[in-house]
Amino acid sequence: MKKKILLMLSLLAVMCLLSGCMAISGSRLESMFGTGGASTVQAGNAAAGTAANTGDTVTISKAEYERLARFKDLAELYDACEIAFFREPDTDQMLEYAARGLMAGLGDPYSYYYSPEEYAQMWEDDTGEYVGIGVMILSYVKEGYCVITRVFQGGPAEAAGVQRGDILYRVGEDLYVTPENLTEAVKIMRGEEGTDVDVTFLRNEEEITFTITRKAVKVNEVDSTLLEDGIGMIALYEFSGEAEVEFENALNALLKQGIKGLIIDLRDNSGGWVDQARYIGDLFMDKGEVCYLVYRDGEEEHRYYRTTDGKADVQLVILVNENTASSSEILTGALRDCADATVVGTNSFGKGIIQEVMPIGNNGAGFQLTIAEYMTPKGNKVHEVGIKPDVEVERAEGEEKNYEFADVEHDIQLKTALEVMREKLK
C-alpha cells in the first residue's frame, strides 16, 4: 500500500514538473476554482485581463498565468490529499480553512474570513435581535477572560440573577470560556427559544451556575437620563442595529427637557459601523468630516464621512476608557476637534483602521478586510496610539463592576465628567 501511495505521489510530482513549464494543469486549477471539465490553461499573448477560449484550451496573459502559478503549491497539496489521504477528505472544509489561512497571513486581527454560517450570524447580530440569554460580553485578551458588561433589562440572564461584572467561566459542562473560544460559547448560549443552558460565572472568585432559559432578546444600543437640571447623559454601547436612530431620539428627548450640556458615555464601546458615527457626529457638528482615510499608497480620501450644517446647541463631555475603540474613537476625535468636546477617562484603545465587509462566492460566505487608516479631522493619528483624555481619571481595579448606568455616587469617572460639565456651563 505504501508503494502504491508513493507511486501516486511520484506521478503527481511529474505532472507538476511538466505543468510548471508553460501550462497549469487543468485538474489542479479546477480543484481550486471549481471550473469543471478537463481543460488546460496556457500562458499566451492574450491582453492583460482577457482570456481566449479555443476548445479545451484557455489562453491567458503571461501576467495572469504567473499570478495563478503562485497557487501551484496549494493546488499540489489539495491534489495530494484528494489522491492519497487515508480517508475521504472533506474538500469543502479544506477550502474553507485555506481561505481562513489566506486572510490570517495578513497578520491583521481585523481581517478575516466568514463561513456562510458566520456571515449570516454577523448580520443577525447587527439587527440587535436574537434568541439567547441577554448579556453583552467583553473579552480581555491579555488577561485571558471574558466579563459581562451589560445584562439586558427584561432578559433571561437578568431574571436568573446574572450581574454586570460577572466573569463568564463555563458554558455547559465542559466549555471553559476564553477570549479565543468566546464565539463558540456564544453559539452554545444561543439556540431554540424555551430551551435551557447551564452557564457558570465567577463572582468574587466563587463559581455560580445558573440554568437559564433562552428567549428572544431585543438589544437596546442606548440608555439615557437627565442627571440634573441642564445636564443629560447618553450611554452608547455599540454602533450597530439602529444605534444612530436610538441616539438621536434620546438626544431630542433630553433637549426637550432643556439640557445645555450632554455627557456621552463611550466606555467599553468597541465600535461598529462608521457611518453611524458620522450620523451621530453630524448632530453636533457643522459642515466638515468626522474623519478621513489614508490608503497604503498615502492617498487621502475626504469624500465619505462628511457632515452638514446644523447642530445641537449643547456643551459636550465624552467618557472613554481602554476599551473605547474604532467608531467610538472616530466620534470622540471628531467631537473634540470640531465640537469643543472635553474627553474624560483613560486612554482609548487605539484602533485607527477601517474594515470593509463583503460577500464572497455564491454560498453565503464573506470576509472583512482592513482597507485604510483613519485620521481625526485635524489630522491626529489614532491607530496604536489611542485618544488621550483631556482629564485623566483612572478607575480602581474592579471598580467597573461596582456601578450601574448613571451611578454618579460610585462611578468616579462619571462623577468627574459631571464636575467638568458644570465648569463648562458656568
pLDDT digits (tens, 9 = 90+) for 59-72: 889 999 999 899 99
pLDDT tens, residue by residue, 33-64: 443 344 444 555 545 455 555 567 888 899 99
Q: What is the overall mean pLDDT for the chain? A: 87
- Mean pLDDT of the 273-288 span: 97
Residue 88 has pLDDT above 60, yes or no: yes
Q: Which of 139, 337, 348, 411 is catalytic?
A: 337
- C-alpha span between 46 and 178 (Å, rounded): 53
- C-alpha span between 322 and 175 (Å, rounded): 28
Query: What is the predicted pLDDT for the residue at 154?
Result: 87
CATH class for domain 222-425? Answer: alpha beta
Beta carbons of 102 and 367 less than 8 angstroms apart: no
What are the residue ranges spanned by the domains of the chain?
A: 2-89, 129-218, 222-425
- Mean pLDDT of the 389-411 span: 83
27 is catalytic: no
Instruction: Give the sign of the dihedral formed by CA 71, CA 72, CA 76, CA 79.
Output: positive
- Residue 12 pLDDT level (bands cut at 50, 70, 90): very low
Flag the least confident range among 2-6, 29-33, 82-86, 271-275: 29-33
Q: Is 345 helix (H, G, I), strand (E, B) or coil?
A: strand
CA nearest 131: which of 195, 215, 241? 215
Pick the CATH number of 129-218 from 3.40.630.30, 2.30.30.30, 3.30.420.40, 2.30.42.10: 2.30.42.10
337 is catalytic: yes
Buried b (16+ CB within 10 A) or exposed e, 348-375: bbbbbbbbeeeeeeeeebbbbbbebbbb
Hey, do 129-218 and 222-425 end up sharing a CATH topology, with the first three levels equal? no
Residue 139 has pLDDT above 50, yes or no: yes
User: For the residues of 213-256, what is the DSSP string, one character each?
Assistant: E-EEEE---EEEEEEETTEEEEEE--B-TTHHHHHHHHHHHHHH
What whole-number percentage of the chain has pLDDT above 70? Answer: 86
pLDDT tens, residue by residue, 166-223: 999 999 989 999 998 998 999 999 999 999 999 999 999 999 999 999 999 888 899 9
Q: Which of 270, 326, 328, 348 is catalytic?
A: 326
* Alpha-carbon distances, residue 57 vs 27, 38, 44, 300, 326 (angstroms): 13, 9, 11, 43, 49
- Mean pLDDT of the 248-266 span: 98
CA nearest 84: which of 28, 8, 11, 140? 8
Residue 234 has pLDDT above 90, yes or no: yes
Query: What is the predicted pLDDT for the residue at 9?
Result: 42
172 or 124, higher pLDDT: 172
Please give the helix or strand (H or E) that residue 149 lies within, else none: strand 145-151
Query: What is the predicted pLDDT for the residue at 51?
Result: 55
